[in-house]
Chain A
C-alpha cells in the first residue's frame, strides 16, 4: 500500500505560497490502478515525481507499505516508470534497453537478456530486440518503454502520460493492453494523465487534482455521478455539464431552484437543509440527462433549438431560451432517432434525480452529495 500524508511541494524560486502540491493525502492499495487526473499545472506530474523519488517533498510523508521512503533514492525504490517521451536510451538496442535495469542490479548478462526476452514477449516486441530505438515507430517505442519498466518486476509502476504521443486509435489498443498486463501482473500502478476518458476507462480509482489539491478521489462511476464540487463536475464529461445560475427558494411548500429561464422543483427526497435557502447556486445537469419531451410533461421547459451537431452516435443539440432570459445555452445529447432542426421550438425536461446543485458561496460544493 502506498500512503501520501499531507504532501507539500514548493519549487525554489517561485513566490511564497505558490505550491505545486499543497497538502495532498492519498492512499493506494496493493495491486490497484490509480489515475491522477487534472488540468496542466495541477501538480499531478509533481506528485508522480515525488513517488518516483526524483523530487523530494517540501513537507509530508510518503510510505510504501509502512516504510517511510521520503529520503530513499529512486534506484532503491523498486519502481518502474514510463515517461511521456519514453526516454529510451538511444545508444542501446531494444534488448539492452529492456535489460538495462536488470544489468544495473548486477544480474549476469545472459540471465538479464533471457528476462528481457520474456518481458518483450508479453508486450509482443520480441521481434524488435536487435533494433535501435530510432528505428521504431511511436507505438513500438511505447511498448519498449513499458517493457523496460516491467522487466525488473517493480512493486510500483508509474506512468507519466504514456499515451499522449500515440494516435487516437492506437491509444485505445494500448490502453486495453496496459490494463490487461497490469491485471495479470498485479502491479500497483499509478498513471498521470490529462485525458479524462483514458483515466476513467483504465483505472480502479481516479484522483482529480486542481491547484495542488485532491478534489475528489473515487471510482470513475462515482466521480461522474456524484461529483463533490463544481470543479470535478465541470472538468469531467464531454460535452460538459450544463450549468445554470439560480437561487434556492422556498415556494408554497416546495424547494425550487429559480433561474432566469425556468424554475425547477426539487423532488421530495432531494430536499436540502433550510439553511441553504436563498443561496446563489449553479444548477448542473449533464447533456445526456436532458430529454426532449411534450409540452404536457411535468416541469417541461420551452426552448428554441439553435444548432444541431451530428456526432455519429447521436446528436448534440444546442438550445437557447426563446425569451433570451437565460444567459447560457443548454446542451442536449439525444439519440439519432429524434428529429430536430435548428429553429424548432421544443420542450425539454431533466431526468429525475440526475441534477446537481453547487453552492456558489462555498467554492462550488455539491449540496446534494452529503445525503
Chain B
C-alpha cells in the first residue's frame, strides 16, 4: 500500500467513525417516525396529525394546517420587514456621514454579540405595558430587534464592497442619490440581500422560544412552537413517534430550502461579506 492510499484510508476511516453516530441518529429519526415499535412493522399511524388535531396524554393541540399557514405568513413577514429595514440602514452605515455613526456602529456590534435572552424578563414587562403580549406584533417586534443588528452588519459588508465609482457613475448619468441606490446599488448587492433573506427566513422558521413565552393561544403558534408544545414537564411519557413524525414534516422543507439556497450561504463568510 502506497503512503498516499494509506493516508486516504486513514482519513476515510476517521471521517466514517465520526459520521456514523450522526447517520445512526438520522436513521433512527426516520425509523421512529415510520415504524410501530411494538409490532416492528412499517406504519404511518404517526402521521395521523395530517387529518386530525393532536391529542395525547393531556396535551391537546389544534390541527396542523392553520399552524403551517401561520408559519409561512410569519416567516415571510419577518423576511420582508428585516430586508426592508436592514438594507437602507446598512447603506447609511456604509455610505453616509452622520452624527453618531461610530457610536451607532459600536452599539450595533455590541447588540449583535449580546445574549438577548438575559433581557427577556424586561422585554416581557415592556410588552405587557404596551399590551402586545399574545399578539403577533409583539413577537415580531422582539424577534426583529434581536436579529436586525446581525443583518445590518452583514449587509454593510456587501455595501462596503460596492465601488464608489459605480454610485458616482449613476449620479452623473442622471440619478439622484436615492435613485442610484435603487437602480444600481440594490442590484449590485442582490446576493447579499438574498443571503440575509435566507438567514431571516431560517431564523423565523425556527423561532419557538418567543412563541412559547409570548403567545398563549395554541392556534396562534407556528410549527416550531407547536413542536415544542409536545415536550412539556407535565407529560413525562413522551410520544417519540409523534414528535419525530411532526419533526420530519417540519424539517423536510428546510432541507429542500437549504439545498437550493446554499450557494447564497457561501457568499457570506464569517460575518463580513465577500463579493460574489
| Interface residues, chain A, with chain B CB atoms under 8 Å away | 49, 52, 54, 73-75, 77, 79-81, 83-91, 100-101, 104-105, 148, 152, 158
Q: How far is the CA of A81 from the CA of B171 in the complex (A)?
A: 10
Asked if A75 and B174 sit within 8 Å, CB to CB, the answer is yes
| CB of B262 within 8 Å of the partner chain | no
A87 to chain B: closest CB distance in Å? 4
The residue on B at minimum CB distance from A49 is B168
User: In the complex, given contacts A100-B170, A100-B173, what are 5 additional A-B residue pairs having Cβ atoms less than 8 angstroms apart?
Assistant: A75-B171, A79-B172, A83-B165, A86-B165, A91-B190
| Interface residues, chain B, with chain A CB atoms under 8 Å away | 163, 165-166, 168-176, 179, 184, 187-188, 190
List, in ascending order, chain B residues with CB within 8 A of A158's CB.
Answer: 172
List, in ascending order, chain A residues with CB within 8 A of B165's CB.
Answer: 83-87
Given A49, A81, A91, A105, which contacts B169 in the complex, CB threshold below 8 Å? A81
List, in ascending order, chain A residues with CB within 8 A of B170's CB.
Answer: 89, 100
The residue on B at minimum CB distance from A12 is B97
Q: How far is the CA of A77 from the CA of B173 in the complex (A)?
A: 10
Asked if A85 and B163 sit within 8 Å, CB to CB, the answer is yes
Given B168, B173, B187, which contacts A91 in the complex, CB threshold below 8 Å? B187
Asked if A54 and B166 sit within 8 Å, CB to CB, the answer is no
Asked if B168 and A75 sit within 8 Å, CB to CB, the answer is no
Asked if B188 and A74 sit within 8 Å, CB to CB, the answer is no
List, in ascending order, chain A residues with CB within 8 A of B187's CB.
Answer: 89-91
List, in ascending order, chain A residues with CB within 8 A of B169's CB.
Answer: 81, 83, 87-89, 148
Asked if B172 and A75 sit within 8 Å, CB to CB, the answer is yes
Most buried by B among A73, A84, A87: A87
13 example contacts (A-B, Cβ-Cβ < 8 A) are as follows: A49-B168, A75-B175, A77-B172, A81-B172, A83-B168, A85-B163, A86-B165, A91-B190, A101-B173, A101-B174, A104-B175, A148-B173, A152-B173
List, in ascending order, chain B residues with CB within 8 A of A73's CB.
Answer: 171, 176
Asked if B168 and A52 sit within 8 Å, CB to CB, the answer is yes
Most buried by A among B173, B184, B187: B173
B149 to chain A: closest CB distance in Å? 27
List, in ascending order, chain A residues with CB within 8 A of B176's CB.
Answer: 73, 75
List, in ascending order, chain A residues with CB within 8 A of B171's CB.
Answer: 54, 73-75
List, in ascending order, chain A residues with CB within 8 A of B190's CB.
Answer: 91
Q: How far is the CA of A54 from the CA of B166 in the complex (A)?
A: 12
Given A79, A87, A148, A152, which contacts B163 in the complex, CB threshold below 8 Å? A87
List, in ascending order, chain B residues with CB within 8 A of A91's CB.
Answer: 187-188, 190
Top 7 A-B pairs ranked by shortest CB distance?
A: A104-B174, A87-B165, A87-B169, A101-B173, A91-B187, A83-B165, A75-B174
Q: How far is the CA of A49 from the CA of B172 in the complex (A)?
A: 10
B242 to chain A: closest CB distance in Å? 48
Q: How far is the CA of A158 from the CA of B169 in the complex (A)?
A: 11
B110 to chain A: closest CB distance in Å? 25
Q: How far is the CA of A49 from the CA of B179 in the complex (A)?
A: 20
Asked if B172 and A89 sit within 8 Å, CB to CB, the answer is no
List, in ascending order, chain B residues with CB within 8 A of A88's CB.
Answer: 169
B253 to chain A: closest CB distance in Å? 30
Q: How far is the CA of A105 from the CA of B170 in the complex (A)?
A: 12
Q: How far is the CA of A52 from the CA of B166 in the complex (A)?
A: 14
Asked if B173 and A54 sit within 8 Å, CB to CB, the answer is no
List, in ascending order, chain A residues with CB within 8 A of B184's CB.
Answer: 89
B73 to chain A: closest CB distance in Å? 31
Q: How far is the CA of A87 from the CA of B76 in the complex (A)?
A: 34
Q: How far is the CA of A143 from the CA of B177 in the complex (A)?
A: 26
B177 to chain A: closest CB distance in Å? 9
Q: How far is the CA of A81 from the CA of B174 in the complex (A)?
A: 12
Q: How far is the CA of A148 from the CA of B174 in the complex (A)?
A: 12
Q: How far is the CA of A83 from the CA of B166 in the complex (A)?
A: 9
Given A83, A90, A105, which contacts B174 in the complex, CB threshold below 8 Å? A105
The residue on B at minimum CB distance from A148 is B173
The residue on A at minimum CB distance from B97 is A12
Q: How far is the CA of A17 from the CA of B175 in the complex (A)?
A: 34
List, in ascending order, chain B residues with CB within 8 A of A80's CB.
Answer: 172
B250 to chain A: closest CB distance in Å? 36
The residue on B at minimum CB distance from A52 is B172
List, in ascending order, chain A residues with CB within 8 A of B163's CB.
Answer: 85, 87
Q: How far is the CA of A52 from the CA of B170 in the complex (A)?
A: 12
Q: How far is the CA of A79 from the CA of B168 in the complex (A)?
A: 12
List, in ascending order, chain B residues with CB within 8 A of A84's CB.
Answer: 165
A156 to chain B: closest CB distance in Å? 11
Q: How far is the CA of A54 from the CA of B172 in the complex (A)?
A: 8
Q: How far is the CA of A110 from the CA of B44 in the complex (A)?
A: 61
A58 to chain B: closest CB distance in Å? 16
Asked if A54 and B174 sit within 8 Å, CB to CB, the answer is no
List, in ascending order, chain A residues with CB within 8 A of B179's CB.
Answer: 104
Q: How far is the CA of A17 from the CA of B172 in the complex (A)?
A: 30
Q: How far is the CA of A52 from the CA of B172 in the complex (A)?
A: 7
Q: How far is the CA of A101 from the CA of B169 in the complex (A)?
A: 10
Q: How far is the CA of A345 from the CA of B188 in the complex (A)?
A: 65
Most buried by A among B170, B176, B179, B190: B170
List, in ascending order, chain A residues with CB within 8 A of B168's CB.
Answer: 49, 52, 54, 74, 81, 83, 87
Q: How far is the CA of A101 from the CA of B173 in the complex (A)?
A: 5
Q: How far is the CA of A315 from the CA of B126 in the complex (A)?
A: 85
Q: How far is the CA of A77 from the CA of B190 in the complex (A)?
A: 30
Q: How far is the CA of A89 from the CA of B175 in the complex (A)?
A: 13
List, in ascending order, chain B residues with CB within 8 A of A83's CB.
Answer: 165, 168-169
Q: How far is the CA of A156 from the CA of B4 in the complex (A)?
A: 66
B116 to chain A: closest CB distance in Å? 35
The residue on A at minimum CB distance from B168 is A54
Q: How far is the CA of A104 from the CA of B166 in the complex (A)?
A: 15
